[in-house]
Amino acid sequence: MNPRVFLVLALLFFAGGIFIWQQGWFSAEEAEEKTFDQILSPSPFLEELDSEEPEQEDPRADLQAEPRGMGVAQLSEPPTFFVKPYLVYPADMLMYPAYEAAVTEYLMELQQWYLGQVGAAFQMASLVVLRHPSRNYLEMRCGENPSQECIRDRSLLEGNWAQYMNEAIHGGVARYESGGPHWADHTAYLVFGAGGGGYAGANAKGHEGGWAVVGDWVLEPISGVANEWGIPCSYSSGWQCEDGVSKGTPAHELGHAFGLPHPGEEYRDSTIMEWHGGYPEVGFLDQEREFLRVSPFFVL
């Protein structure tokens, strides 16, 4: 081959290689920029890809997108269910420090008792001690328009005690009457109402939550301190303030707040949900235990 021809061909080949190499480098840089854009703003990048090859849409795209959407939904955490205990006083009456100490100790005992009976534990917030923002004891005991009989007879409890506990916890009368926060979902309230005498009541909304309220005939036996301004155990028949009954009352009422009913008189000696005087020896029926084990309040 003629040396001059060979030289010309060699030069052309070398120049073409540089051109190809340069084109390849710029293409790589462009690809890197697109990848970075994809991280910052995925949608425009995906739209750009679709516009380049509209006739080759991936039929699996929707199927691939579904799991991503479902995965995001699964990231949302389920609500947390708590037992929230309160010790509530009227606005105008003396507080007893012994009550707070006794209730705190009893709550730990109660939580351990449920754990032993159910094989699962409920989560419990710290005890909150508060006064009703506005209602005095006479109004709470006898209602907004008290009768002369109730005023004279200290043993009578004619006011809507559970409502007044609700008001105290959730901000007072005005908020309650305006439809403000009442008993909240995902919460089982356990309220010890000083001045409530032998009151014991509860209600529930299935597994969603409920409330349980007890009074002086629980506070006095567990603390050893009589409520001088309230309705102490001296007004009871005696058996209501015995140890098994007084300690079993909150355990029983909390069971209602969790959604358990009374099973029937034939089960009086078999479950605390029919008769609470056998606390702590008496427990739950198998059906009740299973109900609690699947309740969102309990953690296995």
C-alpha 283/C-alpha 260 separation (Å) is 13
Among residues 49, 74, 99, which one ends one of the domains? 74
195 & 289 share domain = yes
Give pTM, 2 decimals: 0.74
Is residue 35 predicted with pLDDT exceeding 50? Answer: no
Residue 46 structural domain? 7-74
Write the pLDDT tens digit of every residue in 106-121.
Answer: 999 999 999 999 999 9
**What percentage of the chain reaches a pLDDT higher than 70?**
72
C-alpha 75/C-alpha 175 separation (Å) is 35
C-alpha 194/C-alpha 153 separation (Å) is 18
28 & 165 share domain = no
- Return the biggest CA–CA distance within the chain: 133
- pLDDT the model gives residue 208: 84
The closest alpha carbon to 132, from 145, 122, 123, 141, belongs to: 141
- pLDDT the model gives residue 180: 63
67 & 147 share domain = no
- pLDDT the model gives residue 1: 53
43 & 119 share domain = no
* pLDDT level of residue 181 (50, 70, 90 thresholds): low
Q: What contacts 24+ positions apart, CB below 8 Å, involve 270-279? A: 272/248, 276/244, 276/245, 276/248, 276/249, 276/251, 276/252, 277/239, 277/242, 277/244, 277/245, 277/248, 278/244, 278/248, 279/113, 279/244, 279/245, 279/247, 279/248, 279/251, 279/252
- pLDDT the model gives residue 5: 45
229 & 289 share domain = yes
* H or E element in which residue 163 lies: helix 161-169
Q: What is the mean pLDDT of residues 242-263?
A: 96
Write the pLDDT tens digit of every residue in 40-82.
Answer: 233 332 223 233 333 444 433 343 333 334 444 444 566 799 9
Name residue, tokens 């005939």.
Answer: 217
180 & 220 share domain = yes
Q: What is the mean pLDDT of the chain?
A: 80
- pLDDT the model gives residue 48: 30
Q: Is 12 domain-assigned?
A: yes
Q: What contacts 24+ positions apart, CB below 8 Å, involve 261-265? A: 263/288
